[in-house]
Amino acid sequence: MRLEPVTEDNYRAVIGLEVHEEQRAFVATNLKSIADAWIHRPKLQPLALFGGEELVGFTLLERDRPGVLHIVRFMIDRRAQGRGLGRKGLAAIADVARSEGRTELVLSVVPGNAVARGLYAAFGFTDTGEVDGGELVMRHVLAPSTRAPAHLAEQ
Ligand SMILES: CC(C)(COP(=O)(O)OP(=O)(O)OC[C@H]1O[C@@H](n2cnc3c(N)ncnc32)[C@H](O)[C@@H]1OP(=O)(O)O)[C@@H](O)C(=O)NCCC(=O)NCCS
């Protein structure tokens, strides 16, 4: 899974990604998220999620507190869901956080979003007990990467 900037070349396709109808209450449209990112640039960073060559999802990241990466939006296109890409997307975001020396991921989720809550809990997120705008705030403290640095992995 690769995270790529939203650019002139891919933004129409990113806007064309969609969740299932019954999931629409769980996440803003990507069009709204790109607008949010424009208004709040450079604090908000919109990123396209690629599985190989295929555009499969979108995330909006915020760096508002030292040490913390805030996942403001996260979605996998309805046609690509259920293939483990949500989990891989979270892993790629965690790698970004680690590469910046951050130790914590934070997000919030609509209480009725059982699939997302299950995914986040399985990934290692726990409830903080805080509620933000009716959404449950979850956090994940990152263990240092166990992957060998690239220059060692090649040997
Ligand atoms: C939440 C979301 C990102 C998960 O993406 P995904 O690519 O389907 O996730 P994965 O394939 O990695 O599956 C994660 C887990 O959810 C389960 N799952 C996925 N879709 C499911 C469904 N429709 N019903 C029940 N379980 C489901 C998978 O079985 C998996 O559990 P497992 O690891 O125990 O097998 C995706 O459903 C989505 O975009 N939802 C709409 C937007 C949203 O809610 N975003 C989160 C806002 S906080």
pLDDT at 152 over 60: no
From the CA of 71, give the closest atom in ligand 1: 48
With contact defined as beta carbons under 8 Å apart, do 79 and 59 qualify? Answer: no
Domains and CATH numbers, the chain: 2-146 (3.40.630.30)
Give the mutation target among 76, 109, 113, 123 for probing the ligand 1 site: most ligand atoms within 8 A of CB: 76
pLDDT digits (tens, 9 = 90+) for 18-74: 999 999 999 999 999 999 999 999 999 999 999 999 999 999 999 989 999 999 999
Instruction: State in Å: Cα 3 to ligand 1 middle.
Output: 18
- Considering only CA atoms, which residue is closest to atom 4 of ligand 1? 86
Q: Mean pLDDT over residues 89-113, rounded?
A: 97
What confidence score (pLDDT) does residue 154 get?
Answer: 44
**pLDDT value of residue 153:** 47
Q: Say how many Å lie between the CA of residue 78 and the centre of ligand 1.
A: 10
List beta partners, residue 107.
138
87 lines ligand 1 (CB under 6 A): yes
- Percent of the chain clearing pLDDT 90 (strictly above): 91
What pLDDT does residue 130 have?
98
Looking at the DSSP bridge assignments, the partners of residue 59 are 47, 74
